[in-house]
Structure 1
Amino acid sequence: YLKKIGRRGKIDIWLVDGAKIRRDLEKDFTNFAEYYYFPIIPKYEFWIDRESVPNERRFFIDHLLAEWRLMDGGMSYQRAKEIANQKELSERKKAGDLEKVINQKSEFSPEKVHRRLLDKTKDEIDIWLVDGRLVRSAFDIGFTEGGHDLVYQYVPKNEVWIDDDVFAKERPYVLLHELYERSLMKSGLTYLRAHRKASRLEWRARHSEQILDEFFLKFLIKKGKI
């Protein structure tokens, strides 16, 4: 726990250290969660990961409230998530996010979410820091931490994206996951198999700096630039 940031009815809303949770408790914890998805969370608490750019909390809280109430009433997680996503997307649209990623042809432009080119691998893969809020608002509400072109059609060819909500000290682990997953998929593995293998490697790297250093050396990436 870092800080209690609110209360909705009988539910306390906590800002938490997501990096520590991913390292020590639950590797799949991302931007936010509640009891019915992660039972490690007390029933009457919402956990929201601290953000490098803290400008989406109201969207996350609206989502959690809808999801929690529906599941508390007996609805399945998948259906509750779909309804909560629609609620969240509606709020994002009202905030004017969609207009920020439309180009002169009135199309959603991936280049509009680029913030900074972090590095390029030896295989000419561009590593971009992107505006995570705009990606979630315009392209994929489920985008968290990072992604690449072999999984997400909206990511341009030969690009890996890192969410700007991820703090700098955690970006190397996210990048390791995405690059390793991408390399496995390029060699023929399905996404699910590649993702599981990448998650295991990420978990090990979070507990061993040597694994991270060796991986970055393999891809000729300077960790300090990430």
Structure 2
Amino acid sequence: MDKKEFYLKKIGQRGKIAIWLVDGSKIRCDLDKEFTNFGQHFRFPFIPKYEFWLDKEAMPNERRFFIDHLLVEWQSMREGSSYIEAFDAAGEKERSERFKAGDLKKVCGKDNRPDIKKMRYRLLYKTDGGILIWLVYGRLVRSAFNIDFTQGGHDLVYDFVPRNNVWLDNDVLIKERPYIMLHELYERSLMKRGFDYPKAHRRASKIEWQARHDKRKLKESLALLGIYD
């Protein structure tokens, strides 16, 4: 496979490292379903050593945070740290930059606690089973609660998501939303039945991968979860 087809545009350079905007949807379909907002070589070996890849976003207003994160993560792993250790160090840097940007002030109420209502963009669906699927401001969720919130999440994984809610990141392109919605709803249904998160996530990733290669599978799977065209 020619990796050139994943590249969209070079958007920067940090020393030896070229920063590329890439087609994350195509990467998730053809290469690695776990690629999300960004990545670097030591986390995703298919990325060249001196490149950072950033997924094309619907709302491209977090790139500086992602690049700061990647610089720390890349250097830490290059020096021998595990991914978890490197992610933690990079996360501290990213959270610091988000705080400086003033995101918390935008979402906190009078009690200085994040206000969930300020993170909601709009209600997308209500499933037959009563699950509310909200489009949320992903940047604000990451800044206020968890920088690892990517693409989507639900109440059985994130304690800040209200009961019987699934959240989709507004940073996700419209064409990607059905796959993320399928993943989150299916994962949640398994966890509701007693599956632990790792096992539920693996199974949800598998069905998402299948749906990306079979539109009929996508439609049928969403219907079983209470979402219809």
Q: TM-score, normalised on structure 1?
A: 0.96
Q: TM-score, normalised on structure 2?
A: 0.95
> Which amino acid is 2:121 matched to?
R
Structure 1 distance, partners of 2:153, 2:82, is 27
Where does residue 8 of structure 2 map in the other structure? 2
Cα displacement string for residues 110-140 of structure 1 (whole angstroms, at most 9, x for unaligned residues)? 2221000001000111000000000110100
Structure 1 distance, partners of 2:187, 2:168, is 14
Identity of aligned residues (%): 61
1:97 aligns with 2:103: yes
Structure 2 distance, partners of 1:190, 1:19, is 27
Report if aligned partners of 2:29, 2:209 keep a CA contact under 8 Å in 1: yes
Structure 1 distance, partners of 2:148, 2:173, is 19
How far off is 1:222 after superposition?
Answer: 3.5
How far off is 1:217 after superposition?
Answer: 2.1
Query: Runs of 5+ in structure 1 lacking a partner?
Result: none
Where does residue 76 of structure 1 map in the other structure? 82
**How do residues 17-32 of structure 1 correspond to structure 2 at under 5 angstroms?**
17-32=23-38
1:181 aligns with 2:187: yes
Query: Runs of 5+ in structure 2 lacking a partner?
Result: 1-6
Report if aligned partners of 2:186, 2:225 keep a CA contact under 8 Å in 1: no
- Between stretches 64-73 and 84-93, larger displacement belongs to 64-73
Query: Match for 2:124 among 118, 129, 146?
Result: 118
Where does residue 201 of structure 1 map in the other structure? 207
How far off is 1:79 after superposition?
Answer: 1.3
How far off is 1:106 after superposition?
Answer: 2.0
Cα displacement string for residues 165-203 of structure 1 (whole angstroms, at most 9, x for unaligned residues)? 110111000000000011111111111111111110000
Structure 2 distance, partners of 1:33, 1:50, is 12
Aligned residues: 223
Query: Match for 1:12 among 7, 12, 18?
Result: 18
Structure 2 distance, partners of 1:107, 1:158, is 22
